[in-house]
Amino acid sequence: KSEFLSTMSHELRTPLNAIEGFTSIMLGNMGVDLGPQARKMVERISANSKRLLSLINDILDLSRIESGRMELVSEPITPAAFTERIQKQMSALADTKRLAFTTSVDPELPPTVYGDEEAISKIAINLVGNAIKFTANGSVAMNVRKDGNQWAIEVSDTGIGIPPHAREFIFDEFRQVDSTSKREFGGTGLGLAIVQKLTRMMGGQVQLESEVGKGSKFTVLLPLNSTPSVN
């Protein structure tokens, strides 16, 4: 099943990338004049193909993890540069919702830690993306700190919060707090499954604290490797 999914996902991505590419050319006014109505339609094609692409990328990631074909590397990561990159990448999204997005890096952390930067970025982007999505007012923060012999990526928000009964199942695939057809937030329920599986593969764990109506805090704890780990 995993192999089928991974092949299928790959085959689906190629045509989707073409749709994405051509719609952005059209929207970028490169040689195409669109009237206002046509522009709206192309914008919707673009938004929907982006959604589909991100769903397929998530399914591809999950099937790779599950089939054991996702190999993690142990490479040097500079926590300060990593944090700055996430800040740059996610601040536009926070801006669109007029939310403050702040980051901090604990000076106690060694300048270089070892791990798989791509996997850790995926985790951070998923958590920050969720924090922004489920927050209407206030702020989102990502704090990276040392925690004993681990390092923690802590993402907190002042959003809708997560009720106690949902705090376990939201980490399962396709599970969301609100799964009714009247659901107001987009998404497929794969992000946290990916976050948890990647974290566990790296020997870490995910913690969640939340209060309904006040906000949530997800903490990803990862082993603090100051030298490359040998697998």
From CA 99, how far away is CA 222, in angstroms rounded? 28
CA distances in angstroms from 144 to 20, 70, 72, 150, listed in the order given: 34, 25, 21, 11
CB of 53 to ligand ADP, least distance (A): 14
CB of 22 to ligand ADP, least distance (A): 27
Whichever of 142 and 144 has its CB closer to ligand ADP, that residue is 142
CB of 225 to ligand ADP, least distance (A): 27
- Contacts of 44 by beta carbon, 8 Å cutoff, 6+ apart: none
Whichever of 83 and 156 has its CB closer to ligand ADP, that residue is 156
Strand partners for 105: 144
In 3D space, the residue among 201, 187, 12 whose CA is nearest the CA of residue 118 turns out to be 201
CB of 127 to ligand ADP, least distance (A): 7
From CA 219, how far away is CA 152, in angstroms rounded? 6
- The residues that touch ligand ADP, with contacts defined as CB under 6 A, are 126, 130-131, 134, 157, 159-160, 162, 170, 176-178, 187-193, 216
Does the CA dihedral 70-76-78-79 come out positive or negative?
A: positive
CB of 59 to ligand ADP, least distance (A): 12
Whichever of 9 and 130 has its CB closer to ligand ADP, that residue is 130
Whichever of 65 and 192 has its CB closer to ligand ADP, that residue is 192
Whichever of 87 and 188 has its CB closer to ligand ADP, that residue is 188
Which residue's C-beta sits nearest to ligand ADP? 187
Amino acid at 62: L
